[in-house]
Amino acid sequence: MKNDRETKTLLSEKREAEYVGEDGLRYCGICQEPREKVVPGLLSLFGTDRRPRLCRCQRTLLEAQEQEERERKKQERILRLRELCFQGASLEDATFAGSTVDSPPLERCRRYAEAWAEACEAHIGLLLWGPPGTGKSYAAACVANHLLQQEIPVRMIKLTQLLNCGFREREETLCRLLRVPLLIIDDYGMERETEYGLEITFSLLIAGWNPEGR
């Protein structure tokens, strides 16, 4: 962060400018605030009742460092959520802002993502349909990335992935999928229609969002 670097530079350059005031306390040469405080009745082994305190520029630097650390941890959490969401698919960079397409369906997806809290509360989903190559997966990924940036877990999965795995793995995956706030089923209808496939589909659609997994 620019302010963080500037403050560090000032502290480094003017560290020697620290001075002792008329009250005998150390003062900062940058902001003129004391870097010591007197604690009445408290004496250390060295017989002093003074304790360190942060001056204004030190507090500013500390706040900037804490904010930077919070942002770093947030981005790490978002990265983990994104990896879980897309499972290696090449849609991690799909965003509304980065889209070169301006279409009514994409705009509806944007509105859905922005009103996610209300849609989630009302259990409102979104259905995208059309022939292959019309941008359905991209639009769905834009919704996912919009929510992931807010640290809301999303999973995007093809139904064929679920149908082709073993029974135990499929059951475990289903349990995990039903706990995410938003589940995106990509390329629905591309799988071979079977009774079992319909059973899995209905179990996902009917169960919907599980409040306990929020």
Q: What is the mean pLDDT of residues 116-133?
A: 88
Chain-centroid distance of CA 188 in Å reads 28
- Please tell me the predicted confidence (pLDDT) of residue 74: 95
- Please tell me the predicted confidence (pLDDT) of residue 188: 72
Q: What is the mean pLDDT of residues 162-167?
A: 70
6 to 35, 64, 168: CA distances (angstroms): 20, 11, 56
- Please tell me the predicted confidence (pLDDT) of residue 210: 45
Each residue's pLDDT tens digit, 85-112: 987 767 888 899 888 777 888 999 999 9
**Pick among 3.40.50.920, 3.40.50.740, 3.40.50.300, 3.30.70.270: CATH of 87-213:** 3.40.50.300
Q: Where are the domains of the chain?
A: 2-72, 87-213
- Tell me how far apart the alpha carbons of residues 174 and 156 are, in angstroms, rounded to a whole number: 13
- Tell me how far apart the alpha carbons of residues 136 and 94 are, in angstroms, rounded to a whole number: 12
Q: How many CB atoms lie within 10 A of CB 214?
A: 11
Provide the pLDDT confidence category of residue 131 given band limits of 50, 70 and 90: confident
pLDDT surpassing 90 at residue 71 = yes
- The H or E element containing residue 66 is helix 56-86
